[in-house]
């Protein structure tokens, strides 16, 4: 059965979003962006702050990096410079976003403010851009991949934050408290996410 | 080959250049808050600045020095000021450093408050006159087994104006395991010696700043200090005075007494100094010498733990027990106290019993 072009295009974009969020979850399947998860996931609301910021930045930077890669780096045959180019672009973009947020909404700036600089050094963002160019995506699909990956990371950190809040009061062996138990939680959650693998392939 | 290297170089340079330019323009354009004013203490001083930088920096550019140890990172919490208008919402960096009462009183960390609009703040008056000094450690002299006299030569600015009894804040440098901290010390040198500062410091076990000063600070080393602060000073009255001090509380009184001698200020005065044993006393000869130089001055060192059979001829016991024998009626007197809070509280309640009014007691309490 040949689906018509319109719905095929839509479902392809949607599928990319879902697969990026679940089957190839950037945090739980690829284990990227771990340091900020360990650092910030103590509470659900801070997790939410960082998660939302990551969704926004992954989406926007995969769009920008898609354009830069396909319309600058490939024509100039400078693909091997993608790593450093992406890093510079992500860092500047985060700075810019920080300024705009500060000017537009102080409340949002205070809620996100300390998380935005953290994102600059979040390897998940760079990872998303690098994975994205490895696939034959169109611009919209690249955006969808970025948004999906960001959403997957958001979902994961929210879940971990929720679990950490719940076990906050529990008596843990001294050596396990903090990052130790968090890594174990992430491991178990990653096992659960393995269940999604193979459901959608991109 | 060469061409591709060149393209790569040009591309990288161009990208970073364009991005940084973009950011600079964006910062100028997006974060331009225009001219703002900072109103200090209800119009006592109004500062016009370009908005966009932190309150702490805007104030120090205009020569109002709020103490700060961490350089605006929001980790020392020394730079608290009251922002009554226009500070914006409390940031998550500030929150852990403020008590509930301080949050209610609009106290903020001035390094974390950005000036985005006209702002009104309240600061203690003394901060108006305070300056930041660069100084060089000139001398370290042990006065007793645990008390040291520290001398600094002022470098930039090279003179200080203060009244005898005021204090400065000294910033310690980092040393193994300890961060830089700021601690207050009374000035023991004379106001007329404008080019130097002397402090009297007692070693506090595990104290970050005193350990630094005793063990790590070297003669010739540069330090930064700010001041003068404080309103502990000799009152301009004819009333007779009682000075009470213990340990390094000697510093402001040592300065005040010599200032009295220098300026020919004549008033009846007693100085009770508390120590545990004879070895706790310092400047003893000089202080007994002042009895002859000042018109009507008596120095009474009091030792609480001096062995009974020692050759000590002076007073034995706590100051509150000894006071009434010298001053049966304290109604006419003013009292100046400097030392630990235990000493000050005990002496104050004794002085009240002897008829001295609460508003005539001036103190400089150590925490």
| Residue B88, both tokens | 């914006």
Cβ–Cβ below 8 Å for B15 and A88? yes
Sketch out chain B's domains with CATH numbers. 35-127 (3.10.20.30), 130-229 (2.40.30.10), 241-366 (3.40.50.80)
User: Chain A: nearest CA to B65, how far in angstroms?
Assistant: 26
Q: What angle do CA A52, A54, A55 make, to 5 degrees?
A: 65
What residues of B are in the A interface, CB distance below 8 Å? 4, 7-8, 11-12, 15-16, 19-20, 22-23, 26-27, 30-31, 88-93, 116
Mean pLDDT of B167-190: 86
pLDDT on residue B77: 80
Contacts of B28 (CB under 8 A, 6+ apart): none
Contact A114 B26 (CB under 8 A): no
How many angstroms separate the CA atoms of A178 and A167, rounded? 10
**Residue B19 C-alpha, separation from nearest chain A C-alpha, in angstroms:** 7
Question: What integer is the mean pLDDT of B76-83?
Answer: 85
Select from B23, B8, B26, B115 the least CA-distant residue to B62: B115
Q: Between the ranges A27-36, B60-69, B152-161, where is the mean pLDDT highest? A: B152-161
Question: What confidence category does residue B176 fall into, taking pLDDT thresholds of 50, 70 and 90?
Answer: confident
In chain A, what residues touch B87 (CB-CB under 8 Å)? Answer: none
Residue in the block written with tokens 């919490």: B77
pLDDT score at A2: 43
b or e along A141-164 (b: 16 or more beta carbons within 10 Å of the residue's beta carbon)?
bbbbbbbbbbbbbbbbbbbbbebb
Pick B19's closest partner by Cβ from A72, A92, A99: A92
State the best of A74, A99, A105, A115 to mutate against chain B, taking most chain B CBs within 10 Å.
Answer: A99
| Predicted-complex ipTM score | 0.74
**Chain B residues touching A67 at Cβ < 8 A:** none
- pLDDT at res. B245: 94
Per-residue pLDDT band for B367 (boundaries 50, 70, 90) equals low
Q: What residues of chain B lie within 8 A of the CB of A99, using their CB? A: 26-27, 30-31
Contact flag A77-B4 (C-beta cutoff 8 Å): yes
Using CB atoms, which residue from B11, B12, B26 is nearest to A99?
B26
Write the residue in A72, A85, A99 that is nearest to B27 by C-beta: A99
Are A113 and B91 an interchain contact pair (Cβ–Cβ within 8 Å)?
Answer: yes
Q: What is the pLDDT of residue B52?
A: 82
Chain B residues within 8 A of A96 when measuring between CB atoms: 22-23, 26
Q: Find which of A48, A65, A76 to mutate to test the B interface (most B CBs within 10 Å of its CB).
A: A76
Give me the helix-helix angle, B319-326 and B341-353, nearest 10°.
30
The C-alpha atoms of residue A60 and residue A129 are separated, in whole angstroms, by 10
Chain A residues within 8 A of B26 when measuring between CB atoms? 96, 99
Which of these ranges, A109-118, B151-160, B279-288, has the smallest mean pLDDT? A109-118
pLDDT score, position A173: 87
Mean pLDDT of chain B, nearest integer: 89
Q: Return the pLDDT at B128.
A: 78
The answer to whether the beta carbons of residues B165 and B245 sit under 8 Å apart is no
Sign of the CA dihedral running A124, A125, A130, A135:
positive
Mean pLDDT per 10-residue segment, chain A (202 residues): 55 88 88 84 83 89 94 90 91 86 77 72 88 90 94 93 88 85 91 81 60
Domain boundaries, chain A: 19-194
pLDDT of the residue at A1: 39
Chain B residues in contact with A103 by the CB 8 A cut-off are 30-31
Above 50 in pLDDT, residue B252?
A: yes
Interface test with chain A among B33, B89, B112, by most A beta carbons within 10 Å: B89
User: What pLDDT was estimated at residue B182?
Assistant: 81
Angular region, B230: left φ>0, alpha ψ -120 to 50, beta rest = left
Cα angle: A77, vertex B22, A120; to 5 degrees: 75
Q: What does R_g of chain B's alpha carbons equal in angstroms? A: 26
What residue in B sits closest to A101 (Cα-Cα)? B30
Three-state secondary structure of chain B:
CHHHHHHHHHHHHHHHHHHHHHHHHHHHHHCCCCEEEEEECCCCEEEEEECCCEHHHHHHHCCCCCCCCCCCCCCCCCCEEEEEECCCCCCCCCHHHCCHHHHHCCEEECCCCECCCCEEEECCCHHHHCEEEEEEEEEEEECCCCEEEEEEEEEECCCCCCCCCCEEEEECCCECCECCCEEEEEECCCCCCCCEEEEEEECCCCCHHHHHHHHHCCCCCEEEEEEEECCCCCCCCCCCEEEEEEHHHHHHHHHHHHHHHHCCCCCCEEEEEEECCHHHCCCHHHHHHHHHHCCCEEEEEEECCCCCCCCCCCEECCHHHHHHHHCCCCCCCEEEEEEEHHHHHHHHHHHHHCCCCHHHEEEEEEC
B30 contacts in chain A (CB < 8 Å): 99-100, 102-103
Neighbours of B230 (CB within 10 A): 19
Contact list, B88 vs chain A (CB under 8 Å): 106
The residue of chain B with its CA nearest to that of A104 is B30
Beta strand B334-340 pairing with B241-246: parallel
Q: Are A98 and A116 in contact (CB under 8 A)?
A: yes
List, edge to edge, every strand of the sheet that includes B35-40.
B45-50, B35-40, B119-122, B80-85, B107-109
CA distances from residue B354 to B234, B326, B327, B335 in whole angstroms, order as listed: 21, 11, 8, 12
Query: Which is it for strands B80-85 and B107-109: parallel, antiparallel or unpaired?
Result: antiparallel
Q: Residue written as tokens 């340079």?
A: B13
The residue that leads in pLDDT, A100 or B159, is: B159
Q: Do A99 and B30 touch (CB under 8 A)?
A: yes
For A92, the closest chain B residue by CA position comes to B19
Q: How sure is the predictor about B266, in pLDDT bands with cuts at 50, 70 and 90?
A: confident
- pLDDT band at B259, cuts 50/70/90? very high
């Amino acid at each position: 059965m040949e689906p018509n072009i319109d719905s095929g295009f839509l479902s392809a974009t949607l599928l990319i979003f879902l697969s990026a969020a679940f089957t190839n979850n950037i945090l739980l399947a690829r284990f990227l962006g771990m340091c900020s998860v360990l650092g910030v996931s103590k509470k659900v609301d801070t997790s939410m702050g960082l998660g939302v910021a990551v969704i926004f930045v992954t989406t926007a930077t995969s769009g920008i990096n898609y354009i830069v890669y396909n319309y600058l780096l490939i024509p100039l045959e400078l693909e091997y410079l993608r790593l450093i180019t992406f890093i510079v672009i992500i860092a500047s973009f985060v700075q810019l976003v920080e300024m705009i947020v500060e000017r537009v909404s102080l409340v949002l700036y205070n809620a996100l403010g300390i998380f935005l600089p953290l994102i600059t050094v979040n390897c998940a963002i760079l990872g998303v851009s690098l994975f994205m160019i490895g696939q034959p995506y169109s611009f919209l699909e690249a955006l969808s991949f970025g948004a999906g990956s960001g959403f997957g990371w958001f979902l994961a950190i929210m879940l971990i934050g929720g679990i950490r809040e719940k076990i906050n009061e529990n008596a843990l062996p001294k050596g396990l408290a903090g990052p130790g138990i968090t890594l174990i939680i992430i491991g178990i959650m990653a096992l659960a996410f393995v269940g999604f693998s193979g459901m959608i392939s991109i | 080959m060469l061409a591709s290297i060149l393209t790569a170089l040009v591309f990288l340079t161009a990208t970073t250049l364009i991005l940084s330019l973009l950011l600079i323009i964006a910062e100028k354009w997006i974060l331009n808050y225009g001219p703002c004013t900072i109103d200090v203490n209800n119009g006592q001083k109004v500062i016009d600045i370009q908005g966009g930088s932190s309150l702490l920096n805007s104030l120090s550019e205009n020569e109002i020095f709020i103490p700060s140890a961490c350089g605006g990172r929001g980790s020392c919490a020394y730079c608290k000021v009251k922002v009554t208008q226009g500070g914006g919402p409390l940031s998550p960096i500030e929150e852990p450093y403020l008590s509930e009462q301080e949050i209610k009183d609009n106290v903020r960390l001035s390094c974390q408050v950005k000036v985005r609009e006209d702002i009104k703040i309240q600061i203690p008056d003394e901060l108006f006159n305070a300056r930041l000094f660069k100084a060089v450690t000139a001398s370290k002299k042990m006065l007793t087994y645990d008390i040291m006299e520290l001398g600094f030569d002022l470098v930039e600015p090279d003179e200080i104006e203060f009244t005898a009894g005021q204090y400065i804040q000294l910033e310690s440098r980092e040393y193994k395991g300890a961060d830089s901290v700021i601690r207050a010390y009374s000035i023991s040198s004379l106001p007329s010696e404008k080019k130097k500062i002397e402090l009297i410091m007692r070693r506090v076990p595990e104290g970050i700043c005193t350990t630094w000063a005793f063990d790590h600070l070297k003669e010739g080393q540069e330090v930064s200090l700010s001041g003068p602060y404080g309103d502990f000073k000799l009152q301009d009255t004819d009333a007779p005075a009682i000075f009470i001090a213990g340990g390094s509380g000697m510093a402001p009184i040592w300065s005040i007494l010599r200032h009295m001698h220098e300026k020919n200020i004549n008033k009846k005065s007693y100085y009770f100094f508390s120590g545990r044993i004879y070895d706790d006393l310092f400047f003893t000869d000089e202080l007994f010498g002042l009895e002859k130089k000042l018109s009507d001055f008596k120095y009474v060192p009091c030792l609480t733990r001096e062995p009974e059979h020692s050759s000590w001829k002076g007073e034995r016991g706590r100051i509150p027990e000894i006071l009434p024998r010298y001053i049966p009626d304290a109604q006419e007197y003013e009292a100046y106290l400097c030392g630990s809070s235990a000493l000050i509280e005990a002496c104050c309640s004794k002085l009240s019993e002897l008829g001295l009014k609460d508003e005539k007691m001036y103190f400089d309490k150590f925490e």
